[in-house]
A and B are shown apart, each in its own frame.
Chain A
Amino acid sequence: MSYFSDIYKGIKTLLTGMSVTGKYFLTSRKGAITQQYPDNRATLKMFDRFRGEVIMPHDEENRHRCTGCQKCEIACPNGTIEIIWDRGIDEETGKKKKKIDKFVYHLSMCTMCGLCIDVCPTDAIEWGQNFENSVYDRTALTRVLNKPGSKLMPGVED
C-alpha cells in the first residue's frame, strides 16, 4: 500500500507548494516588491548614509573645508584621489601656506570603501547620494571636486 500512500503524500506536498505561489498570485497587486525605476525618481530617496560618490560640500560663498593635508590620498587603496596642491601666500599672516589647487576624484576607480571620508580631519569630503553615475565617456568620471575659485573656509585649520 505504500505505493498509493506515496502518491497521496507526493500530491499533497505538491499542492502545498502550489498554495504558497497561488497565495502570492492572488495578492500580487499590492505585493509587488520591485520598483518601477526610473518612474519613481521623484519619490526615490536613498538612505542618508548611502555611498554614491564622494562630494566636497561648498558653502554659499564658494568655500570648502579642505586644507590639502592629503590624508585621504594616502588612505585611498586605489589611487582614486589625487590632490594637486600649491603654496599660496596667506592674506592674513603673509606666510606661505599649502592649499589645494585641484581635488581630483576618479570615480571610475573608487570602490566606495569610505576610508578617505573616515580619515579626513576637517570633514571636507562626504558621501553624496547620487547613484546615477553612468556616462558616455569615461573621462567624465574624473571629477574635480573643489569648485573653480573656491577658497578654504576660515577657522577650519584651528
Chain B
Amino acid sequence: MIRALSITRSIHDWLYSSMSENMAYFIEMVLIAIVYLAIFAVAGLFLVLIERRVAAWFQLRIGPNRVGFQGLLQTMADALKLLSKELTGTEKADKFLYNLAPYFVIITALMALAVIPFTQDFQAFDINIGILFLIAISSIGVIGILLGGWSSNNKFALIGAMRSGVQTISYELSIGLSLLTMILITGSLQLSEIVEVQKSGWLIVQGHIPAIIAFMIYMIAGTAETNRAPFDMAEAESELGAGFHTEYSGMKFAYFFLAEFINMFIIAAIATTVFFGAWLSPFGITESIPILGVFWFLAKAMVLVFLMMWFRWTFPRLRVDQLLTLEWKYLLPLNLMNIVIMALIVWLNLTIQF
C-alpha cells in the first residue's frame, strides 16, 4: 500500500521490526493521516492567503501585509481568531445534522487528497481506480453543503444548498466525461499508471486538440464543482448573503471555508495529474531527482489555481438557470462529441508522442 521514499522506508522498516504487524500497520496509518492533516491545514491556510493577495493585485490593492513577513501569518491569525469565536446556531436548527455538515465537507476534501501523486512514490493510496475514486469522493462533499443549508433553518441557506445540489449533480457529468476522454489515451484509471504514460509527452500534448477541449471543459466544470465564482450560486453574496453557511460561525464556518480552498487545490491537482504530467518535469530536466517532483507538481497545480482565481476575480456570476443551460446544452454535447473524436484519434494512432 505504501510505496515510500527512503526516509519513510526506514520508518516503515523500523516499525515492522519493533512491533507486531497489525500494530505497525495501524501506527503507520495514523502517522500518514497526521502528515496529510498537516498538509491539509497548511495548504488550506496558504491558499487563502494567496487568494487574498492575488485578489488584491487584481483589484489595485495591496492585500494583507501586516501579520508576519508580507502577511504570511495573516491566515494563521485568522484561524486562531475563528477558533476562539463562539459557535452560534439558530433556534430550531436540526442540531445533529447542523453540526455534522462541516465534517462531511472537510473529510471528503481530505480523502481526495490521499490519492494525489505529489511525486514518485509520494502517494498515500495508489488505488487502481484512482480517477473514479476521486470523482466519487468529490461528489460526497455536496452532501455536507446540502445538510448544512437544510438543517440551519434559514431560507437563504436553504436556497443556497438547493442551488449547490443542482449545480454539483450537473457538473459531475462534465468532470467525469472530460477525464474519461483522457483515459481513452492512458487506458488505465490508476494515477501512477497515468503518470507513467505521460513520460512520453504530457497528455495535453499527446491528445492535442480534443485534449485541449477536454481541459477547458474540465476547468469550467471544476470551477463549478468547487462552488467558486463565476459559479458561486451556493453562496452568491449579493443574492443570498452568505448562502449555505449563513448560520455557521467560528471554526465550523472555517471548515467550509478551508474545504473550498482544498477542493480548489484538488481540482487543480487532478488537472495536473491527468493533463500536465503530474510530477514529471518539462522535457525531463530533473528526472534523476524524484524529490523535485513535488516542486513541479505544486508549481503546475498553482498555475491552475491561479487560473481559477483569475476567473473568479474577472467574471460576473451566472444565473442558476444559465448555469444549467451551460452544462446541459453546451458542455455535455461538446464533451460527448469530444470523446468520439478522441476515440478516433487513439484508434488511428494520431496521438503525438515523443
A residues in contact (CB < 8 Å) with B: 7, 14, 17-18, 20-22, 24-25, 28, 31-34, 36
Is B1 interfacial (CB-CB < 8 Å)?
no
- A24 to B55 alpha-carbon distance, docked (Å): 11
Pair B313/A21 contact, Cβ less than 8 Å? yes
| Interface pair B60/A24, CB less than 8 Å apart | yes
CA distance A7 to B216 in the complex (A): 12
Q: Which residue of B lies closest to A4 (CB)?
A: B334
- Taking the closest CB of chain A, its distance from the CB of B40, in whole angstroms, is 28
Report chain B residues within 8 Å CB of A7: 330, 334
Interface residues of B (CB under 8 A from A): 54, 56-62, 310-311, 313-315, 330, 334
CB distance from B174 to the nearest CB of A (A): 14
Contact partner, A32, options B54, B61, B311, B330, Cβ 8 Å:
B61
CA distance A22 to B330 in the complex (A): 26
The answer to whether A17 and B57 touch across the interface, beta carbons within 8 angstroms, is: no
Complex Cα spacing A28 to B330, Å: 35
Collect the chain B residues with CB atoms within 8 Å of residue A32's CB.
60-62
Give complex CA distance A36, B65 in Å.
10
Q: How far is the CB of A16 from chain B (nearest CB, A)?
A: 10
Q: Contacts A28-B57, A32-B60, A34-B60; is A22 near B310 (CB within 8 Å)?
A: yes
Task: List chain B residues, Cβ under 8 A from A22.
Answer: 310
Interchain CB contact under 8 A, A33 and B314 = no
* A18-B314 in contact (CB<8A): yes
What would 11 more interface pairs be, CB under 8 Å, given A18-B314, A24-B57?
Answer: A14-B314, A17-B315, A18-B311, A21-B58, A21-B314, A22-B310, A25-B54, A25-B57, A28-B58, A31-B60, A32-B62
- A34 near B315: Cβ-Cβ < 8 Å: no
Give Cα distance in the complex from A108 to B142, angstroms: 51
Q: Closest residue of chain B to A17, judged by CB?
A: B314
Residue of B61, B62, B310, B330 touching A21 (CB-CB under 8 A): B310
A20 to B315, CA, bound (A): 11
In the assembled complex, the CB of A152 is this many whole angstroms from the nearest CB of chain B, namely 50
Contact of A18 among B57, B62, B310, B330 (CB under 8 A): B310
Nearest Cβ in chain A — how far from B235, in angstroms? 21
User: Smallest distance from the beta carbon of B218 to chain A beta carbons, Å?
Assistant: 15
Q: Which residues of B contact A31 (CB under 8 A)?
A: 60
- Contact: A14 with B315, CB < 8 Å? yes
Candidates A14, A24, A36; contact of B58 at CB < 8 Å: A24
A21 to chain B, nearest CB (A): 5
Nearest CB on A from B305, distance (A):
14
Decide if A34 touches B61 in the complex (CB within 8 Å): yes
What are 8 A-B pairs at a CB distance below 8 A?
A14-B314, A17-B314, A20-B314, A24-B58, A24-B60, A28-B60, A32-B62, A36-B62
